[in-house]
Amino acid sequence: MRKLLAFLSVVLIVSCSSVDCPVYNMVATNYRCYNSNGDSLKLTDTLSVYSQRRDGTDTLLLNRFVGKATFTLPVSYSHPEDKLVFSFKNGKTEVTDTVWVKKDDIPHFESIDCNAKFFHTLTGVRSTTNKLDSVVIKNTSVNYDATTIHFYLYPKVSD
């Protein structure tokens, strides 16, 4: 009986100390491309997306994306506005647009044993219009849900 009681005590202590941190804990925004009729549009131009850091250097977020309509980009934790450079290439021709995403950062706490995370509320978006016709916010809440589309992207279609 003592052995059983000791075993159950150890099991309870171990089971109470386990933490359920989310396995999929990436906080990112999802973009879906549409044509002017509102139909989903697979990109035929190759798209690369860069983010500009405060020190002026660029970091590559999406490299040579083509043939799909939906893509995912991470969100910064410390800037009220993210600056993204969308580079569209078609053969030797390259066209770039800049997209500014304004957001509020909301600290998200699960447990002291889990990594610190931030959720976001999207508050605005604007862009240049060289290749992009417009960018529209579809869903303002950015969290762990990887299925939510946050932005509708309307590229200009070449003739």
* pLDDT tens for the chain, residues 1 to 159: 666 555 555 554 554 445 566 666 678 899 999 988 888 989 888 999 999 777 777 888 989 998 999 999 988 887 889 899 999 998 889 999 999 999 998 887 777 777 777 888 899 999 999 999 999 999 998 888 888 999 999 998 764
Among candidate residues 49, 128, 59, 47, the one with its CA nearest the CA of residue 88: 47
pLDDT at position 150, please? 92
pLDDT at position 99, please? 94
